[in-house]
Amino acid sequence: MDNWLSKLERRFGRYAIPNLMYYIIILYAVGFVLNLVNRGFYYQFLCLDAAAILHGQIWRVFTFIIQPPSDNLIFIIFMLHLYYMIGQQLERAWGAFRFNLYFFSGMLFHVIAALLVYAVTGLSLPMSVWYLNMSLFFAFAALYPEVQFLLFMVFPIKVKYLAILDGIYFIYPVIQAFLPAYGGGLMGNYYKANAVEAVISILNFLIFFLGSRNMQPYTPAQIKRKREFKQKIRRAQRPVQMHANGARHMCAVCKRTELDDPNLEFRYCSKCNGNYEYCQDHLFTHTHVK
């Protein structure tokens, strides 16, 4: 599967949306404000309603994403910050294309599941992407198991242990949906929707992450080595400039070359606009050229 993903990335990678989680967070913020203005508007016109989709309201396939994770201002600020941090880290690890694919395939699975449930049972379940967002934490924990979070802003705990709690959180709605006390009426549909969401989100995680035969290139250590390798390649590909006195290197500040002092080291500055080279004495003290 990893080879298949690599082929897709080579072919369609240029269409990926960089910094995707930033735009998702904006959509959640819009949904939060919309709920404050008119709480029923989302459920009436925007939510994932299979019956409405089959009757021509195709936009619901996309608009259901804007449902915010909470109606509580303090909680949603915390959650959106967490989502953004995790999304950014996963995009850095996987690349924009694979992160896009993970999130959008999760959305697609939700739509397909909603339509299948409606076709088989006649139920139009009120599904959201809450568990899809929570599944991002599984992916984060798989890549960074030793990272520590502060639980309740006080107790340090490693991500791999929080992932176990997250797993229990996914199992509970599946069990709950089969309990007789939660099976009837509108609330029964709500619990069934949670169960379907949890199963779909875990399935998306398993297909995308565990189904890849080789995820090692996307670990933090590999990413760092890959970035350093690209920097060395870029430096090696810079054209060698021969100065009038025959020197290959010249500091843009003091004009010294390796002919003046063979022990001098020279580096290009990545923050300057152009190929400006500096000696070891001025590399960190010069004014950047913009």
Residue showing tokens 């996309």: 62
The residues pairing with 198 across neighbouring beta strands, listed in sequence order, are none
Check: pTM over 0.75? Answer yes or no.
no
pLDDT for 133 beyond 90: no
Average pLDDT over residues 257-270: 84
Whole-number pLDDT of residue 140: 85
> Which of 65, 69, 23 lies closest to 46, judged by CA?
65
Angle (CA) 39-43-45 rounded to 5° is 110
Average pLDDT over residues 11-28: 90
Which string of b and e fits 130-154 if b means at least 16 CB within 10 Å? bbbbbbbbbbbbbbbeeeeeeeeee
| DSSP E strands, 5-154 | 148-151
Whole-number pLDDT of residue 2: 52
Residues, the chain: 290
Whole-number pLDDT of residue 182: 57
Contacts 24+ apart (CB under 8 A), 101-105: 101/5, 101/8, 101/208, 102/139, 102/204, 102/208, 103/20, 103/24, 103/132, 105/204, 105/207, 105/208
Question: Structure tokens of 32?
Answer: 């939060």
How far is 226 from 206, CA to CA, in rounded Å? 26
**185 φψ region: left (φ > 0), alpha (ψ -120 to 50), beta (else):** left
The structural domains of the chain, with segments of one domain joined by +, span 2-222, 238-290
How far is 288 from 290, CA to CA, in rounded Å? 6
Contact 191, 176 (CB under 8 A): yes
Provide CB contacts within 8 A for 253, sequence distance 6+. 278, 279, 282, 286
Kindly indicate the confidence band of residue 270, based on its pLDDT and cuts at 50, 70 and 90. Answer: confident
- Output the CA–CA distances (angstroms, integers) from residue 201 to 24, 155, 196, in the order listed: 17, 28, 9
Which string of b and e fits 105-120 if b means at least 16 CB within 10 Å? ebbebbbebbbebbee
Q: Strand pairing of 148-151 and 155-158?
A: antiparallel
Provide CB contacts within 8 A for 9, sequence distance 6+. 95, 97, 98
Kindly indicate the confidence band of residue 171, based on its pLDDT and cuts at 50, 70 and 90. Answer: confident
Whole-number pLDDT of residue 268: 85
- List, for residues 60-69, the tens digit of each pLDDT value: 999 999 988 8
Q: What percent of the chain stands above pLDDT 70?
A: 80
Provide CB contacts within 8 A for 105, sequence distance 6+. 204, 207, 208
- List, for residues 229-251, the tens digit of each pLDDT value: 666 655 555 554 556 567 888 88
- List, for residues 42-100, the tens digit of each pLDDT value: 888 898 889 999 999 999 999 999 988 888 888 888 888 888 988 888 888 888 888 99
CATH of domain 2-222: 1.20.1540.10
Whole-number pLDDT of residue 24: 93
Q: At 249, give phi and psi (nearest 5°).
A: -130, 140
